[in-house]
Amino acid sequence: MAHFEIRDLNFLYASAKGRKSLEGVDLTIEKGQYVVVCGKSGSGKTTLLRHLKPVLTPAGKRSGKILFNGKDIGELTDREQAELIGYVMQDPDDQIVTDKVWHELAFGLESLGCDQKTMRARVSEMACYFGIQNWFHRDVTELSGGQKQLLNLASVMAMHPQVLILDEPTSQLDPIAASDFLDTVRKINLELGTTVIITEHRLEDILPYADRAVVMDSGRIIEDDVPSNIGRELYLKGNEMFHAMPTPVRSFYLCEGQGECPLTVRDGRGWLDREFPQGAPVRSLPEKEPVYAPDDIVLSMKEVWFRYGRDLPDILTGVSCEIPKGVIYAIVGGNGSGKSTTLKAMCGINRAYRGKVEIFGKKIDKYKSSELFDHCMAMLPQDPKSLFVKKSVREELEEMSKDEARINEVASLCEITSLMDSHPYDLSGGEQQRAALAKVLLTEPRILLLDEPTKGLDSFFKETFAGILSDLKKQGITVVMVSHDVEFCARYSDMVSMFFDGQIITTDSPKRFFGNNSFYTTAANRMSRHIFDMAVSIEDVVELYRLNRGGDRS
């Protein structure tokens, strides 16, 4: 008997006019399967997942059938659905209900009215399985984002659900915490046989382990197949979702490879080995000239030291950098290494206690704060919500500028013209970020600082965002960003710096920077470095592949 059986499910949100959020969805999920649901934001993934958990099902017009273990899902009691169907959402923070780790673990069991003995046994079991015992007595506010999300998972698992539904669980986590989290999910699936249904942007981390991939587009299921076939269909149909596929998959199809599609970097290397058993005659592409004038420095830091309090350790231990005009400058590095602190030191929110920061050749201390943040520099915060005050996007923008024409111009640059009358909190993550960016741009900065700009964005929003950045660059605006997102930095930045241990260690063009790294680099480079030199992006790999193949034929 199938675990979930969805028959011709149609759904229209109560508030929406016209377009259905789910249209004719048919899906069968077997017990113990690991199913990935992918699609652009707004494709109906979340709506579909919420239909599998009755208490979270949104209000609206619905038709069709959902069977759970052969019975209509609506017949489940609140208690049964709490016990049998686990659901983990995106936000690690807001999902936590109580103030203590132990209480959070016990929360679900308390709701079921379990007795002390059962609760003790289950809670201790969960604490051990998830490695929580060392922070069992802590306050939840002391935990990192990754720990919080793990706690959310553990407190759902404490109820021993048959199904685990995860809605973009790692979008707010850094890459290391994210892959830890996804490893745990896989372990649960393998060791306990729990059915897993997950939506995720980071397909490279989960697609290789999934039993099935389901692709959604505008509320319909357009693909439903084993992961190794999914790329082929998307490629042939020219579907946009192809660009969200893992690097090996995209490289394989763009090179029109034959045979089994590689899903992991390891298999990708194997495929290239088979293609070029003697190595490739053309190993590298000619290097492009830098587009910026290296002498026109707009922002420089010299030996900057910073700590948050007198008795606290130094976070920045002599940061130096020079950023030329009109570049996109990326700072990459591990979590908690002080990247964001550096960004704040650049705009004077964190005052260095030693060293100097110069903006347009003038020391930052010489600026009044009204000067510094007006027509000079501005920062887009990590969480766009921290900039929203009003009840519509238009009012948000009007807070910054009275100039109607200018507002419209910036809105169209950020592609939010159609969202002007929406409430900021009704927008999706990517839209919120663009609205926040528009707000920031209305200060008309010449230097734009971005803190983790791609956090939580899917590949399409990332592309839109990159488009906006390149428009800004054309206007002569300098962009400085700190990011975990290696792929994004490799593709769109002009200069990349490595941040480690409170300092900037190296700076180079993305090509040389990532081309010379072997761990901290893009998937394309990891996959191809034994055959090609400095192929950092998929485009590089495909171009080199074609060059070498073309040589064969002639």
Partner 1 sequence: MKRSRAMLYFVLVILIPLTLYLGIRLPGRSYYLLSALVAVEVLTPFFMTFEKRKPAPRELATVAVMSAFVTIARVGVPIPSFKPTFAVILLSGIAFGPETGFVVGAMGALGSDFFYGQGPFTPWQMMAYGVMGLLGGLAFREGSPLKRKNIVMAVFCFTATVLVVGPLLDTSSVFITISVLSWENILPLYISGFPVNLTQGVCCFLTLMLFGEAILEKLERVKLQYGMMEDTDGV
Partner 2 sequence: MERDRFSRCHPSVTFAFFIVAIGLGAMIMHPAYIIVSGIAASSYYCLIKGYRGLKLLVLSVPLFIFITLFNPLVNHQGQRILAYVFGRPYTFEAMVYGMAVAGMLIVMLLWAGCFNHVMTSDRFMVLFGGLIPTLSMLLTMILRLVPNMMRKTAQIAGARKAIGRGVGEDDPMKKKASDSMNVASSLLSWSLEGGAVTADAMKARGYGAGKRSSYEIIRFTPSDLVMAVGMIMLFTAVVMLIAKGGTAAEYTPVMNITPIGSSGLPGFAAYGIFLMLPTIMHLVEDLQWRISRSGI
Does the footprint of partner 1 cover residue 103 (CB under 8 A)?
no
Query: Smallest gap, in angstroms, from Cβ of residue 469 to partner 2?
Result: 18
The residue from 55, 121, 190, 236 that contacts partner 1 (CB under 8 A) is: 55
The residue from 391, 404, 421, 530 that contacts partner 1 (CB under 8 A) is: 391
β-pairing, 71-72 vs 60-68, is antiparallel
∠ CA 153-154-155, nearest 5°, is 95
User: Dihedral angle at the C-alpha atoms of 441, 445, 447, 453, nearest 10 degrees?
Assistant: -20
Chain centre to alpha carbon of residue 102: 29
Does the footprint of partner 1 cover residue 138 (CB under 8 A)?
no
Nearer of residues 240 and 399 to partner 2, judged by Cβ:
399
Q: Which residue has the tokens 């659905």?
A: 81
Nearer of residues 109 and 319 to partner 2, judged by Cβ:
109
Query: Smallest gap, in angstroms, from Cβ of residue 57 to partner 1?
Result: 9
Q: How many CA atoms lie within 13 A of 298 on its CB side?
A: 21
Strand order in the sheet with 328-333: 377-380, 447-451, 478-483, 328-333, 495-500, 503-508
Q: Are 488 and 328 in contact (CB under 8 A)?
A: no
Q: Cα dihedral sign for 397, 343, 485, 286?
A: positive
Query: Smallest gap, in angstroms, from Cβ of residue 168 to partner 1?
Result: 21
β-pairing, 163-167 vs 195-199, is parallel
Nearer of residues 80 and 463 to partner 1, judged by Cβ:
80
Distance of alpha carbon 272 from alpha carbon 269, whole angstroms? 5
Nearer of residues 241 and 397 to partner 2, judged by Cβ:
397
Nearer of residues 99 and 404 to partner 2, judged by Cβ:
99
Query: Smallest gap, in angstroms, from Cβ of residue 86 to partner 2?
Result: 8
Using the CB atoms, write b or e for 480-501: b if 16+ within 10 Å.
bbbbbbbbbbbbbbbbbbbbbe
Nearer of residues 100 and 366 to partner 2, judged by Cβ:
100
Query: Smallest gap, in angstroms, from Cβ of residue 151 to partner 2?
Result: 11
Nearer of residues 35 and 96 to partner 1, judged by Cβ:
96
Picked from partner 2, partner 1, none, the partner binding residue 91 (CB below 5 to 8 A depending on kind) is partner 2
Does the footprint of partner 1 cover residue 61 (CB under 8 A)?
no
Nearer of residues 1 and 59 to partner 1, judged by Cβ:
59
Picked from partner 1, partner 2, none, the partner binding residue 381 (CB below 5 to 8 A depending on kind) is partner 2
Picked from partner 2, partner 1, none, the partner binding residue 349 (CB below 5 to 8 A depending on kind) is partner 2
Q: Which of helix, strand or coil describes residue 277? A: coil
Residue 249: its H or E element: helix 247-254
Picked from partner 2, partner 1, none, the partner binding residue 134 (CB below 5 to 8 A depending on kind) is none
Query: Smallest gap, in angstroms, from Cβ of residue 105 to partner 2?
Result: 8
What amino acid occupies position 490? A
Picked from partner 1, partner 2, none, the partner binding residue 197 (CB below 5 to 8 A depending on kind) is none
The residue from 423, 512, 546, 549 that contacts partner 1 (CB under 8 A) is: 423
What residues line the site for partner 2 (CB under 8 A)? 53, 55-56, 77-79, 81-83, 86-87, 89, 91, 93-100, 102-103, 106-116, 119-120, 123, 139-141, 152, 155-156, 159, 344, 347, 349, 369-370, 372-374, 378-379, 381, 383, 385-389, 399-400, 425, 439-440, 443, 449
Beta bridge partners of residue 63, listed in sequence order: 10
Q: How many CA atoms lie within 13 A of 501 on its CB side?
A: 2
Closest CA to 244 of 197, 198, 196, 207: 207
Query: Smallest gap, in angstroms, from Cβ of residue 278 to partner 2?
Result: 55
Nearer of residues 139 and 256 to partner 1, judged by Cβ:
139
Distance of alpha carbon 316 from alpha carbon 353, whole angstroms? 10
Q: Are 480 and 449 in contact (CB under 8 A)?
A: yes
Picked from partner 1, partner 2, none, the partner binding residue 503 (CB below 5 to 8 A depending on kind) is none
Residue 224: its H or E element: strand 220-225
Strand order in the sheet with 163-167: 85-88, 163-167, 195-199, 34-38, 212-217, 220-225
Query: Smallest gap, in angstroms, from Cβ of residue 85 to partner 1?
Result: 16
Total of residues contacting partner 1 (CB under 8 A):
4
DSSP code of residue 508 = E
Query: Smallest gap, in angstroms, from Cβ of residue 419 to partner 1?
Result: 17
Query: Smallest gap, in angstroms, from Cβ of residue 18 to partner 1?
Result: 21
Nearer of residues 274 and 385 to partner 2, judged by Cβ:
385
Nearer of residues 205 and 396 to partner 2, judged by Cβ:
396
Distance of alpha carbon 381 from alpha carbon 317, whole angstroms? 23
Query: Smallest gap, in angstroms, from Cβ of residue 132 to partner 2?
Result: 14
Residues in contact with partner 1 by the rule CB under 8 A: 55, 59, 391, 423
